[in-house]
């Protein structure tokens, strides 16, 4: 069994925030694969289901981002899961909007949700880093992540979430490459190659033969009359 955790903040006020892209990913997986309705448990909301032979529990902590580890730790203890069974989906400032990177273990890079999970469970779990872009200056980060996605973000966000839903089964079995490929199929623009040129006609076409019935006869060549003078006479004529 795997525990997928999406990070975000509870309540309608935050539902469309960039910081809540982890919640959005959980909702899309649950909807796409017919999981059970969400219910309150482990200081959060959970939905259970299967993708193929793999059982999954989806968790959206309701403790607010800074205390996400409380909810995650409680769920892991209840199901007796190891860190290798945990996958956390979170927003990532250091990735361009729509990009996704799968990472195993490592630091929290200042992300408060990850920091809390580190404190309650440890660092050696898988993360699905979901790019939202950076506002350009650290002083603008808080307002940026707690603001809603813009209308111009709709297309890439929809493609990313659909790719996550399609690849969730591969991720549940530990096939990280398969998961990444599924996401890329939705988020990577298809390159159009140059239009094929028509094949050159290299065969030499034979020249058409003239039709004897319509061909005009060639004009008769006039013969130059023979010079009847003797060589001596021709020489004398030159000096006249």
CB 23 within 8 A of CB 7: yes
**CA terminus-to-terminus distance, the chain:** 126
Burial class (CB in 10 A: 0-12, 13-18, 19+), 168: buried
H helix runs in the chain, sequence order = 21-32, 68-79, 112-120, 141-145, 154-172, 176-187, 231-238
- Among 206, 114, 169, 198, which residue's Cα sits nearest to residue 2? 169
- Give bridge partners of residue 103 from the DSSP assignment: 127
Q: What is the dihedral of CA 175, 77, 92, 162, to 10 degrees?
A: 50
Q: Is 137 a catalytic residue?
A: no
Q: Which residue is catalytic, options 19, 90, 111, 186?
A: 19
| Active-site amino acid positions | 19
């Amino acid at each position: 069994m795997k525990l997928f955790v999406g990070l975000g903040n509870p309540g309608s006020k935050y539902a469309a925030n960039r910081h809540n892209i982890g919640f959005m990913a959980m909702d899309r997986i649950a909807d796409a694969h017919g999981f059970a309705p969400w219910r309150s448990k482990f200081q959060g909301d959970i939905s259970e289901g299967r993708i193929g032979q793999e059982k999954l529990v989806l968790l959206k902590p309701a403790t607010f981002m800074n205390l996400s580890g409380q909810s995650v730790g409680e769920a892991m203890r209840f199901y007796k899961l190891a860190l290798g069974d945990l996958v956390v989906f979170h927003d990532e400032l250091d990735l361009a909007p729509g990009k996704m990177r799968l990472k195993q273990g490592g630091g929290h890079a200042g992300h408060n949700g990850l920091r809390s999970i580190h404190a309650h469970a440890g660092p050696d779990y898988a993360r699905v880093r979901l790019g939202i872009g950076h506002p350009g200056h650290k002083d603008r980060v808080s307002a940026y992540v707690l603001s809603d996605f813009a209308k111009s973000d709709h297309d890439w966000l929809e493609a990313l979430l659909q790719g996550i839903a399609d690849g969730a089964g591969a991720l549940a079995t530990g096939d990280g490459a398969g998961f990444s490929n599924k996401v890329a199929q939705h988020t990577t623009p298809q390159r159009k190659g140059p239009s094929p040129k028509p094949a050159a006609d290299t065969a030499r076409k034979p020249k058409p033969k003239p039709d004897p019935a319509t061909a005009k006869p060639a004009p008769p060549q006039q013969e130059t009359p023979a010079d009847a003078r003797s060589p001596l006479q021709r020489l004398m004529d030159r000096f006249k």
